[in-house]
Amino acid sequence: MVRLDDFPQLRQLAWSRPAGVVLDDAEALALYEANWRFVDVGLLTPGEAALIDRLRREVGSGVLLV
């Protein structure tokens, strides 16, 4: 489970969702993949970069479709 408010870039991708929303891992990965062009990689926190890597490995079968 991924709490939107803990990850700034993901929070921006899901701007229309209310604060405090928790996504399952597959939904979080889908948001990153569908909106990757809006992710500022230079602003990723170490924690968010680790989240993306974990989602890629565990949900995306090792692939980030961007």
- Is 24 part of any domain? yes
Mean pLDDT for the stretch of residues 44-51 = 98
pLDDT, position 26: 98
- Is 17 part of any domain? yes
Q: What's the one-letter identity of residue 48?
A: E
What's the structural domain count of the chain? 1
Q: Which pLDDT band, with edges at 50, 70 and 90, does 52 fall under?
A: very high
Query: pTM (2 decimals)?
Result: 0.93
- Is 49 part of any domain? yes
- Is 38 part of any domain? yes
What residue numbers bound the domain in which 50 lies? Answer: 2-58
Helix or strand run (H / E) with residue 13: helix 8-13
CA separation (Å) from 56 to 15, 18, 19, 20, 28? 22, 25, 24, 23, 10
Mean pLDDT for the stretch of residues 1-29 = 96
- Is 20 part of any domain? yes
- Is 63 part of any domain? no
Beta strand segments in the chain, E: 2-3, 22-23
Average confidence score pLDDT of the chain: 96
- Is 41 part of any domain? yes
22 bridge partner residues? 3
Q: Which pLDDT band, with edges at 50, 70 and 90, does 15 fall under?
A: very high
- Is 40 part of any domain? yes
